[in-house]
């Protein structure tokens, strides 16, 4: 077909060959110069593959015609973003950038956004518990807006329009959030422009701006590229569509390949509408279809077409199978549908099925498991590992065990809690056990030292070390001492790998062996670290140093940037790594652990499988709300009015379902010979219906489907495990095969009263509980807890000062204690708490001197200090206003839901001890208010463990703008404390110090029963030493143990 043309190329129809053939036709048959051809793809891998195939084709043609000719010119083959980047690089000043502008990464964008947010008041997008929680979503929203060619001005205009049209409370709330996101976008882009830099989302937007505003440059581009070919046209976004139209509309040179049934990237801004509008945008366009599939057997194609017809609309005939069937010597059905009673049985059946295929002659490397989510990949990988089946799973660099082990060594230089010791012993060059790591930590606590000082200078004082463990710790101490002298992080990482350990030597031996005799056996790899992974770690360190140099170069323009030090900035590097983990943007590579070099099953997400093919494909977890997944909420959704597609989706509730169907279609069509579909009736304690994608397959294939029922026994757990603990286990179903994920061993259950804060930490994440209260790590962090402590102390002192100044003394004006004095109280307490968090002791109990360690340049939470301080001042101002008004007035109306601090007698931080399951729980009540009657009747001093027999209000303090939500364990603990009063029925309240709202908390029998079950589960888990990680972005984002946690 002549351009303009759209080629509808279904899976397995040879679209890459078709694109290459199109170039060959232009060059050979029409005599077009290759350097006037532009071929655009979406990934570097696809561009590289096309470039190699074109080079082989064109060079062979030249050789066959005349070998004496000059070297053959080549078409320009590039990703769309790289093409735009090269264009902008040549004309940067014309779009407001520096000639040597920097294309900042998403990680750098995060740090820039954090800098911007420090100067903004964000009520919706900066929760106090985790101020950076929404930053990834905000960055994605900014990028998504740029995909729609919407700058900050347009975004703000649409947000204001939403606010003007808002009528309901829900609409006003959405408009407030939109306006707040617009303010963030405006400030973020202003900072980028001030630097003269651009981010990834700017590339296409600025290219469109350049070609629109500079006609002579557009003419130059059109003259240079007279033929434009585009791969995966269904995945382009609006900005890309506009760019392509600008370049090729007048020359009618666009030749695109795509398939709407494989549109799986709408969530990243891809707009399949570009396919539907192709003939409108290019009226002379021809539309052709490739119908012959060279990959899959007929039944697989029938199954895929049935799902597409049922869900995506329009009757679809199956693609024509070029193969007469799958392997002619294999009498096996193409589609198998298996059911199981629960997920454990399903995974056991999956493992058995893989073994059956292997025994029948199908290598493990011919088999792949495709999963809807990465979490599901982890569960499958763990199950197959337990069954002894080697696997390969693409895992992000920083989520791989050996990478974390090496980073744990580096963390000892910047994290003075010593958490890195828990993993550093996994590396054979300095091997020691976790018990020996705990001995170091215990000695540090006993001697009031930081663990690093004990490691470097006081190792002789550590007991319970084996000779081998002591040798490993001495080696680690020597290495850390050397690393402390490194001038930069890249140098330190390189020396650690190639000089201080045998990792580098082993890698060189692997490379040499591969060159001489093929891949080495897995056993030749020390610590399982492969060359690609080491290259990625070094690249990560280099990227960090590049960012630091860029920041230092702009230091005069950006106050607060740290000057260059003589030594590596390890705290900044650890923060950089944390952000990479949060964004999950660092390089991903195939897991190079056991089985990577031999026959193994590959486990991929469906998205990662796009463009690949496998003889046998397994699709587990085919239950409704799992595949298809429920639509996930977006904290920063694309604003209605920015995208035509988004308006369409708002009117079409099935749009998400259709995208899930496209994903399932892609999964099915990865298979050449066989597909094994499986589902369970129960996942955890919930019963699930079959995936709606299965019905069309049943109807289209009928008896040609083989059905199986997998009844494999669930994986063994401790037979004594109770229902309560099993609930916890189910909620942490992402079991990890790493040895560090095994339960923490306890010699005996913890003794003494259990503080209510410990209970809440375990409920949030059992693994974090282990780090804090079993390993007793003491990270230095500034966060919500710091603010709470400072406010509690300040509120108590404020209440005391106002009481002394005169409480409603016959209407007389009390002694002056104004707002400035109240704010000074808070500032004093805030400074004191910060000093406590920052304080690093370097002298032991015995008075022995020790060489001091440098104070960390930053500690966790430093970036949000001003946010916390500003919030604390607002709380104190509100509290002072209420307290001062009450002290000047008559007895207030206690029925008001907005009143607080109104009792004649108020105490803060009272401690009560209660018994639950034979365990003592120590509960600290934020505030106890006693009315006038209570003050007269009781009149006695309240000691720990008792509350006077009088009506009281037990008040829990909250911070932030979130709603109170449903009653939680905290409410139950306050209820238990109320019961301890022994007389009357104390009232429970929740007081939001941020908003001033005072809500009474009521717990009916049903709520109490459920909360008691949760509390029993927590206590039993603690007693049993069961501390699995429980991944949750809202918690992990700000967890100080993120770098060492196995989750």
Question: Same domain, yes or no, for 212 and 335?
Answer: no
pLDDT at 315: 77
Mean pLDDT lowest among 279-288, 718-727, 943-952:
718-727
Specify if 113 maps to a domain: yes
β-bridge mates for residue 952, sequence order = 930
Query: Is the four-CA dihedral 155, 158, 164, 165 of positive or negative sign?
Result: negative
**Of 531 and 238, more confident:** 238
pLDDT beyond 60 at 771: yes
Mean pLDDT lowest among 280-284, 350-354, 558-562, 972-976:
558-562
Instruction: Find the mean pLDDT for residues 173-189.
Output: 96
Question: Same domain, yes or no, for 243 and 216?
Answer: yes
Instruction: Find the mean pLDDT for residues 297-304.
Output: 95
Mean pLDDT lowest among 127-136, 147-156, 481-490, 935-944:
935-944
Question: Same domain, yes or no, for 454 and 558?
Answer: yes
pLDDT beyond 60 at 594: no
pLDDT at 61: 61
Which residues neighbour 623 within 8 Å (Cβ) at sequence distance 6 or greater? Answer: 679, 680, 683, 688, 689, 690, 691
Express each pLDDT in 478-503 by its tens digit.
999 999 999 999 999 999 999 999 98
Q: Which residue among 263, 290, 317 closes a domain?
A: 290
**Of 654 and 525, more confident:** 654
Specify if 117 maps to a domain: yes
Instruction: Find the mean pLDDT for residues 750-770.
Output: 89
Question: Same domain, yes or no, for 127 and 226?
Answer: no
Half-sphere exposure of 944 (CA within 13 A, CB side): 7
Q: Give dist(CA 45, CA 41) in Å, integer.
A: 9
**Of 290 and 515, more confident:** 290
Which residues neighbour 746 within 8 Å (Cβ) at sequence distance 6 or greater? Answer: 774, 1025
Question: Same domain, yes or no, for 385 and 402?
Answer: no
**Of 682 and 903, more confident:** 682
Specify if 111 maps to a domain: yes
Q: How far is CA 167 from CA 176, 584, 963, in A?
A: 13, 39, 21
pLDDT at 394: 82
Specify if 130 maps to a domain: yes
Specify if 618 maps to a domain: yes
Q: What is the CA radius of gyration of the chain?
A: 32
Question: Same domain, yes or no, for 251 and 280?
Answer: yes
Q: Which residue among 662, 689, 709 closes a domain?
A: 709
pLDDT at 965: 65
Residue 27 DSSP label: I
pLDDT at 522: 41
**Of 739 and 819, more confident:** 819
Q: Give dist(CA 983, CA 980) in Å, integer.
A: 8
pLDDT beyond 80 at 376: yes
Cis peptide before 4, with omega less than 30 degrees from 0? yes
pLDDT beyond 80 at 220: yes
pLDDT beyond 70 at 588: no
Q: Which residue among 709, 729, 748 closes a domain?
A: 709
Instruction: Find the mean pLDDT for residues 46-63.
Output: 81
Q: Give dist(CA 919, CA 1021) in Å, integer.
A: 13
pLDDT beyond 60 at 121: yes
pTM for this model (two decimals): 0.88
Question: Same domain, yes or no, for 625 and 605?
Answer: yes
pLDDT at 555: 60
pLDDT at 788: 94
pLDDT at 243: 96
Mean pLDDT for all residues in the chain = 84
pLDDT at 649: 53
Return the SS3 of 653: coil
Q: Give dist(CA 205, CA 151) in Å, integer.
A: 9
Per-residue three-class SS string for 124-171: CCCCCCCCCCCHHHHHHHHHHHHHCCCCHHHHHHHHHHHHHHCCCHHH
Question: Same domain, yes or no, for 476 and 501?
Answer: yes
What is the Cα 190 distance to its own chain's centre? Answer: 27
Of 963, 983, 987, nearest to 975 (Cα)?
Answer: 987
Question: Same domain, yes or no, for 542 and 512?
Answer: yes
Return the SS3 of 601: strand
Q: Give dist(CA 646, CA 147) in Å, integer.
A: 12
pLDDT at 717: 37
Inter-residue contact 427 to 405 (CB < 8 Å) = yes
**Of 794 and 553, more confident:** 794
Specify if 346 maps to a domain: yes
Mean pLDDT lowest among 27-41, 208-222, 832-846, 961-975:
832-846
Label residue 860 by pLDDT band (50, 70, 90): low
Question: Same domain, yes or no, for 238 and 148?
Answer: no
Domain span at 176: 105-194
Specify if 388 maps to a domain: yes
- 12 phi and psi angles, rounded to 5 deg: 75, 10
**Of 715 and 404, more confident:** 404
Label residue 842 by pLDDT band (50, 70, 90): very low
- 392 phi and psi angles, rounded to 5 deg: -125, 130
pLDDT beyond 50 at 676: yes
pLDDT beyond 50 at 1008: yes
pLDDT beyond 80 at 864: yes
CATH code of the domain in which 412 resides:
1.10.486
Label residue 377 by pLDDT band (50, 70, 90): very high
Largest Cα separation within the chain, whole Å, is 112
CATH code of the domain in which 695 resides:
3.40.50.300
- Number of structural domains found in the chain: 4
What the block records as the tokens of 407 is 């980073």
Question: Same domain, yes or no, for 389 and 402?
Answer: no
Specify if 1027 maps to a domain: no
pLDDT at 794: 94
Inter-residue contact 184 to 124 (CB < 8 Å) = no
pLDDT beyond 80 at 810: no
Question: Same domain, yes or no, for 502 and 584?
Answer: yes
């Amino acid at each position: 077909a002549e351009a303009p043309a759209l080629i509808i190329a279904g899976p397995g129809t040879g679209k890459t060959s078709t694109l290459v053939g199109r170039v060959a036709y232009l060059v050979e048959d029409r005599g077009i110069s290759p350097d006037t051809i532009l071929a655009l793809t979406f990934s570097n891998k696809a561009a590289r593959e096309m470039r190699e195939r074109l080079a082989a084709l064109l060079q062979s043609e030249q050789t066959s015609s005349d070998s004496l000719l000059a070297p053959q010119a080549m078409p320009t083959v590039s990703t769309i973003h790289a093409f735009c980047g090269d264009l902008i690089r040549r004309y940067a000043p014309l779009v407001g950038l520096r000639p040597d502008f920097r294309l900042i990464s998403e990680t750098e964008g995060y740090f820039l956004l954090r800098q911007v947010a420090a100067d903004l008041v964000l009520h919706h997008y900066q929760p106090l518990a985790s101020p950076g929680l929404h930053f990834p979503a905000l960055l994605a929203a900014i990028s998504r807006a740029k995909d729609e060619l919407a700058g900050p001005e347009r975004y703000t205009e649409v947000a204001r329009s939403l606010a003007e049209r808002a009528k309901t409370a829900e609409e006003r709330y959405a408009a407030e959030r939109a306006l707040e996101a617009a303010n963030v976008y405006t400030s973020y882009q202003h900072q980028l422009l001030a630097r003269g830099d651009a981010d990834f989302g700017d590339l296409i937007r600025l290219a469109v701006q350049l070609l629109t505003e500079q006609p002579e440059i557009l003419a130059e581009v059109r003259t240079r590229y007279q033929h434009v070919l585009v791969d995966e046209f269904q995945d382009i976004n609006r900005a890309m569509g506009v760019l392509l139209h600008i370049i090729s509309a007048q020359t009618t040179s666009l030749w695109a390949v795509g398939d709407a049934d494989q549109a799986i990237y709408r969530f990243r801004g891809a707009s399949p509408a570009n396919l539907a509008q192709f003939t409108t945008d290019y009226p002379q366009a021809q539309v052709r279809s490739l119908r012959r599939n060279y990959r899959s057997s007929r039944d697989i194609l029938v199954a895929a077409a049935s799902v597409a017809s049922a869900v995506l609309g329009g009757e679809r005939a199956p693609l024509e199978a070029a193969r007469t069937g799958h392997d002619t010597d294999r009498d096996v059905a193409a589609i198998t549908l298996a059911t199981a009673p629960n997920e454990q049985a399903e995974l056991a059946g999956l493992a058995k099925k893989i073994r059956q295929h292997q025994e029948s002659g199908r290598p493990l490397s011919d088999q792949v498991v495709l999963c809807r989510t990465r979490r599901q990949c982890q569960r499958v990988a763990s199950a197959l590992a337990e069954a002894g089946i080697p696997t390969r799973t693409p895992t992000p660099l920083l989520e791989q065990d050996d990478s974390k082990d090496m980073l744990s060594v580096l963390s000892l230089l910047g994290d003075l809690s010593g958490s890195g010791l828990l993993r550093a012993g996994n590396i054979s060059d300095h091997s020691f056990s976790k018990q020996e790591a705990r001995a170091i930590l215990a000695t540090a606590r006993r001697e009031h030292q930081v663990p690093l000082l004990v490691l470097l200078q006081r190792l002789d004082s550590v007991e319970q070390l084996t000779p081998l463990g002591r040798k490993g710790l001495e080696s680690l101490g020597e290495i850390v001492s050397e690393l402390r002298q490194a001038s930069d992080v890249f140098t330190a990482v390189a020396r650690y790998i190639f000089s201080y350990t045998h990792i580098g030597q082993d890698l060189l031996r692997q490379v040499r062996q591969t060159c001489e005799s093929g891949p080495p056996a897995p056993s030749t790899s020390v610590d399982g670290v492969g060359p690609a992974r080491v290259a990625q770690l070094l690249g990560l360190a280099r990227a960090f140093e590049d960012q630091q140099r860029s920041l230092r170069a702009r230091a005069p323009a950006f106050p607060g940037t740290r000057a260059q030090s003589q030594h590596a900035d390890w705290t900044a590097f650890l923060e950089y790594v944390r952000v990479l983990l949060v964004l999950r943007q660092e390089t991903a590579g195939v897991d190079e652990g056991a089985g990577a070099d031999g026959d193994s099953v590959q486990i991929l997400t469906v998205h990662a499988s796009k463009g690949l093919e496998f003889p046998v494909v397994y699709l587990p977890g085919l239950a409704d709300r799992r595949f298809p997944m429920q639509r996930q909420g977006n904290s920063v959704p694309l604003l209605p009015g920015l995208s035509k597609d988004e308006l369409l989706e708002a009117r079409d509730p099935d749009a998400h379902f259709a995208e899930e169907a496209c994903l399932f279609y892609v999964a099915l069509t990865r298979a050449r010979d066989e597909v094994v579909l499986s589902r369970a009736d129960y996942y955890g304690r919930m019963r699930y219906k079959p995936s709606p994608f299965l019905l069309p397959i049943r109807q289209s294939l009928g008896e040609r489907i083989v059905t199986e029922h997998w009844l494999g026994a669930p994986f063994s757990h401790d037979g004594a495990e109770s229902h309560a603990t099993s609930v916890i286990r189910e909620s942490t179903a992402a079991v990890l095969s790493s040895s560090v994920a095994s339960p923490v061993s306890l010699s005996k259950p913890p003794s003494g009263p259990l503080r209510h804060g410990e209970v809440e930490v375990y409920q949030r994440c059992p693994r974090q509980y282990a780090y804090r209260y079993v390993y007793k790590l003491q990270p230095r962090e500034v966060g919500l807890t710091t603010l709470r402590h400072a406010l509690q102390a300040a509120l108590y002192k404020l209440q005391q000062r106002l009481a002394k100044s005169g409480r409603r003394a016959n209407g007389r004006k009390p002694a002056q204690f104004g707002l400035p004095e109240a704010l000074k109280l808070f500032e004093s307490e805030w400074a004191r708490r910060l000093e406590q968090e920052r304080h690093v002791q370097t002298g032991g109990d015995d008075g022995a001197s020790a060489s001091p360690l440098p104070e960390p340049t930053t500690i966790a939470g430093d970036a949000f200090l001003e946010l916390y301080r500003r919030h604390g001042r607002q709380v104190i101002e509100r509290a002072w206003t209420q307290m001062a008004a009450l002290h000047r007035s008559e007895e207030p109306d206690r029925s008001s839901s907005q009143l607080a601090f109104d009792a004649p007698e108020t105490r803060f931080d009272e401690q009560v001890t209660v018994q639950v399951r034979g365990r003592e729980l120590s509960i600290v009540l934020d505030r106890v208010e006693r009315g006038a009657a209570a003050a007269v009747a009781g009149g006695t001093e309240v000691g720990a463990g008792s509350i006077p027999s009088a009506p009281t209000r037990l008040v829990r303090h909250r911070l932030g703008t979130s709603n109170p939500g449903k009653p939680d364990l905290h409410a139950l603990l306050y209820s238990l404390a109320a019961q301890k009063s022994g007389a009357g029925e104390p009232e429970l309240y929740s007081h939001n110090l941020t908003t001033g709202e005072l809500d009474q908390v009521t717990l009916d029998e049903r709520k109490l029963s459920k909360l008691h079950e949760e509390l029993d589960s927590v206590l039993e888990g603690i007693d049993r030493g069961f501390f699995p990680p429980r991944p949750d972005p809202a918690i992990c984002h700000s967890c100080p143990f993120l770098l060492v946690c196995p989750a």
